[in-house]
């Protein structure tokens, strides 16, 4: 084969790969931005793009799951940076004043997202990769893990349930058209401390709150497992 023709074919091949890569990345960004604007109609394209790029950037930087970051953000602030809670939590991922000092960040979009990702990664590592405990620490503080005290806090159990519902929605948008380049998903399913208890309930209408919450835990594990498998297939 002519060397010149071979070189041309190689160049065309890599151009096609590059084009597909750019397209899929842009497609995922477009889907997530549209999702954010649905939940925060006042969000401009420019603001949404800024949020998206910072989540992806800091998720890569700290080797954490961007889908979980987006899920926490949606649950915490509905993608509204101006949100301030009654407890004083500020911004997209609702950092407390002491969090800004702890992680040495400010309350710009960039600083807030960076601090939020650092917060999640720290909680993830301190709980040895247990997602439920990570979310408990983020929402209520790790002190609530003692004697499973968090189970008695309705706000926290509802918080985990909401993220369980949001996660697969965002996962479908984020991984359907792209793979997370250069990002190592921090969530290791094998290390998650879920107890897959299956309680036989004859009458669904009489499901107890505890049983329902246990089912949500199992579903949450499966959602993240599916996400990891999807990411692996893309890679």
Instruction: Write the CB contacts of 117 (distance below 8 Å, at least 6 apart in sequence).
Output: 55, 58, 59, 61, 62, 64, 69
Q: What tens digit of pLDDT does each residue of 82-123 get? A: 999 999 999 999 999 999 999 999 999 999 999 999 999 999
Closest residue by Cα to residue 113 from 33, 195, 57, 177? 57
Over range 191-216, report the average pLDDT.
Answer: 43
Q: What letter would DSSP give residue 151?
A: G
Catalytic center residues = 76
Query: Which pLDDT value is given to residue 136?
Result: 96
Q: What letter would DSSP give residue 218?
A: H
CATH code (residue 122): 1.10.530.10
Q: What tens digit of pLDDT does each residue of 131-152 get? A: 999 999 999 999 999 999 999 9
Query: Which pLDDT value is given to residue 11?
Result: 42
Number of separate domains in the chain: 1
Tell whether the torsion through CA atoms of 181, 160, 77 and 165 is positive or negative.
positive
Q: How far is CA 65 from CA 12, 59, 97, 151, in A?
A: 33, 6, 24, 25
Contact yes or no for 33/45 (Cβ under 8 A): yes
Q: Which two tokens stand for residue 15?
A: 């151009």
For 51, the domain range is 3-234
Instruction: Write the CB contacts of 1 (distance below 8 Å, at least 6 apart in sequence).
Output: none
Burial class (CB in 10 A: 0-12, 13-18, 19+), 38: exposed
């Amino acid at each position: 084969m002519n060397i010149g023709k071979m070189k041309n074919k190689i160049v065309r091949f890599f151009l096609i790969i590059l084009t597909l890569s750019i397209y899929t990345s842009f497609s995922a960004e477009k889907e997530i931005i549209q999702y954010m604007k649905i939940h925060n109609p006042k969000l401009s394209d420019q603001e949404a793009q800024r949020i998206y790029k910072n989540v992806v950037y800091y998720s890569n930087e700290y080797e954490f799951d961007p889908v979980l970051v987006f899920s926490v953000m949606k649950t915490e602030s509905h993608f509204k940076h101006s949100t301030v809670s009654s407890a004083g939590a500020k911004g997209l991922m609702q950092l407390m004043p002491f969090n800004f000092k702890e992680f040495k960040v400010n309350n710009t979009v960039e600083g807030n997202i960076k601090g939020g990702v650092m917060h999640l990664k720290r909680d993830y590592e301190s709980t040895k990769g247990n997602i439920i405990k990570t979310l408990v620490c983020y929402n209520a503080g790790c002190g609530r893990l003692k004697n499973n005290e968090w189970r008695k806090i309705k706000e926290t159990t509802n918080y985990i349930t909401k993220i369980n519902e949001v996660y697969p929605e965002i996962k479908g948008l984020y991984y359907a058209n792209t793979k997370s380049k250069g990002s190592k998903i921090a969530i290791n399913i094998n290390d998650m401390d879920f107890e897959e208890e299956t309680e036989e309930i004859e009458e669904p209408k009489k499901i107890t709150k505890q049983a329902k919450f246990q089912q949500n835990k199992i579903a949450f594990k499966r959602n993240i497992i599916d996400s990891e498998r999807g990411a692996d297939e893309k890679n």
